[in-house]
Amino acid sequence: MSLLTMIIKMSEGLSRTCAIFFLTLIFSLPLGMVVTLLRRSKNKIISSITRAVISVIRGTPLMLQLLAITYGPYYLVGLTVSRNKLVPVVVAFSINYAAYFAEIYRGGIDSISKGQYEAADVLGYTKTQTFLRIILPQVIKRVLPSITNEVVTLVKDTSLAFTVSYQEMFTIGKEIANSQTSFTPFLVAGVFYFVFNALVDFVMGKIEKKLNYYH
């Protein structure tokens, strides 16, 4: 198989890799904020349960979570395994990354001084207005570098979808490597991931510069 043919074949899986990446971000970023608010709840039962769930998710491998969500329903209650593996893959990725984003958000919120809350209260802002208009924009600015690191990691973690036989780019490359007894597909995959991460880093850098007015 020529290098060009190999690249074309692997590029077919790139769209699936992109689907995992973008869908995970769409669901995990807002879900992470919801988890953060539950984690910071004044209700000790809610905050304790949320903290425990976060600990379990962050303390177990993403690969194990992928297998559990994809095949768990079948082994537990006999439900048919989803034919479209993208669904359980995105669910697993979204839950996993939401837990990490939640802790990042929490650190950002906790870093805001109490004086800003008090000043907003004096000005007549409601708690919701204070959070959305004053606290959240600053939190986004402060946590963006950490978010960027997680997003970069997500690009590479998409390759874990091969564990549930989802035909994304790395899975196709692995199959070609096995059939051709060649390491070249892995090198091609490495270039794909490097370029993808370079684009992510560029975009996140642009976003960070636009938020410089908070300095």
Residue type, 53: V
In this predicted structure, what is the pLDDT of residue 213? 58
The pTM (predicted TM-score) of the whole model is: 0.89
Torsion of CA 180, 184, 186, 192, to 10 degrees: -130
Mean pLDDT of 192-209: 89
Is the pLDDT score of 212 beyond 80?
no
Q: Are 167 and 16 in contact (CB under 8 A)?
A: yes
Please name each of the domains of the chain with its CATH number. Answer: 3-214 (1.10.3720.10)
In 158-215, alpha helices (H): 169-180, 184-210
Mean pLDDT of 142-165: 92
Higher-pLDDT residue of 147, 117:
147
Condensed to tens digits (0 to 9), the pLDDT of residues 158-191 reads 999 989 988 888 888 888 888 888 888 889 889 9
Distance (Å, whole) CA 190 – CA 25? 22
Distance (Å, whole) CA 184 – CA 187? 5
In this predicted structure, what is the pLDDT of residue 120? 81
